[in-house]
Amino acid sequence: MPQSTSTKAPDTGEVRNVPLSTVTADALVAVDFRPRGRSRPPGPYRRLFARPGTLAFTAANLAARLPMGMFSVSAVVMIAGTRGSYALAGTVTATGLAATAVVAPWIARLVDRYGQARVAVPATLLAALGSVALLLCVRYDAPAWTLFAAYAATASTPNTGGMSRARWAHLLKDDPGALHTANSLEQSVDELCFMLGPVLAAFLCGTFFPEAGTLVAVALLVTGVLAFAAQRSTEPPAHGPASASGPAPLRAPGMPALLAVCLALGAVFGATEVVTIAFADEQGHRATAGAVLGLQAAGSCVAGLLYGRLRLTGAPERRYPWCVAAMTALLVLPAVAASTGSLPILAAALLLAGMATAPTMITNMALVQRRTPPGRLNEGMTLAVTALLGGIACGSAAGGFATDHLSPSAGYAVPVVAAGVALVVAALAPVLGRRGGRDAQDGGSPATGPA
């Protein structure tokens, strides 16, 4: 006898019995492929943007977020092209990454306390000044230490993706299904920006002049943040200094485990990028490395949009280990493909491997939102992004070491191992979360301590 499950119709809220075309732990509801017409309600993404102001702040945030994939590439090309040292360029960008890890959570905490517009605009202008100062220091052959100081100033750039997710969380706090779709959209936008940003930066720097990528990135960032901040109707309310009196996100039950997974997933991304560039260089096609990596981001982008159309039931804690497990399994494909020595086969494998990235990150961010104490959502999401950036730095170093001492093909074992670590932690995360909750009830959890 065919099985069925109950679900709410998205347009009316009526409970209906829907046949299960796919059975998972969370009962995914079949997607309606009928031609859209009067008898079929709008899709989930159209319903998102039917809300007033959502399209405006999403478009503005897209312009502000695109430079995130441009700045580091532009800095490397600009510094290496004029100073003739990739080592100096890499050290400068690494210094900026370290500064971001320290400053970004503090900026996010201010955003939670005083509001997005009041904090994001001056923080963005300071970061833009840092980028312009870097450009001038490179242009006029200033001492090397000035490059480090200028690029460190860009660490005040606010987490634009986190602010956009915070708006969706505020607008859709009573609609978990729509919030899942919004989180999926945001992850797909992240993938799109990190796919197009480096390509655009390399094109501008190579076609015009070395500083062109930085100039365009600064213009997009400032324009996008100003337009985003102007959308006051969708801005979540500021929580004031009182928000700091609650538990810090880092000490919330389950958050340390989630951040540990983010660190391991960042290592996956960092190692994959370095090893893929080395593999393409070994094959004599270094110029195509960006396009090959872009296919991985494209697979993740498409998977994220499709994942957002699914109607999921059940707690994301149950889906999380399965998503990480799927990502770990698919990462084996590039390792196998690299052993063939064929770049096209590797590109196809990376495209498939990328399809598990977005569902994993979407579920991860949903859990971060659930575990973050009220009034500190931007800070919690920024901690997750900071962990990812730290993991990218570690993964890049590990991937480079494996490539230099073994081979680019062997280097693809690094992301597989990193994903395996993430899987182990994700499997234990619910246990750690429950333990933290019990400790909190006993009054002994650090999650109840001051910020």
Report the pLDDT value the prediction gives residue 40, as an integer from 0 to 100. Answer: 62
Report the alpha-carbon distance of residue 44 to residue 47 in Å, rounded.
5
Checking if the pLDDT of 27 tops 70, the result is: no
Report the pLDDT value the prediction gives residue 39, as an integer from 0 to 100. Answer: 57
Checking if the pLDDT of 158 tops 90, the result is: yes
SS3 155: helix
User: Which amino acid is it at 316?
Assistant: P
Report the pLDDT value the prediction gives residue 242, as an integer from 0 to 100. Answer: 58
SS3 379: helix
Please choose, from the candidates 43, 100, 91, the residue with its C-alpha nearest in 3D space to the C-alpha of residue 390.
100
Report the pLDDT value the prediction gives residue 435, as an integer from 0 to 100. Answer: 43
Report the alpha-carbon distance of residue 369 to residue 422 in Å, rounded.
19
Assess contact for 348 and 340: CB atoms under 8 A.
no
Domains in the chain, CATH or no CATH each: 54-245 (1.20.1250.20), 246-441 (1.20.1250.20)
Please choose, from the candidates 201, 158, 188, 189, the residue with its C-alpha nearest in 3D space to the C-alpha of residue 67.
201
DSSP state of 445: -
Report the pLDDT value the prediction gives residue 247, as an integer from 0 to 100. Answer: 67
Q: What is the pLDDT of residues 91-125, one digit of tens each?
A: 888 788 888 888 988 998 899 889 999 999 999 99
Please choose, from the candidates 7, 26, 6, the residue with its C-alpha nearest in 3D space to the C-alpha of residue 316.
26
Report the pLDDT value the prediction gives residue 442, as an integer from 0 to 100. Answer: 34
Share of the chain above pLDDT 90, in %: 33
Report the pLDDT value the prediction gives residue 395, as an integer from 0 to 100. Answer: 84
Q: What is the pLDDT of residues 288-336, one digit of tens each?
A: 777 788 888 888 888 888 888 888 777 788 888 999 999 999 999 999 9
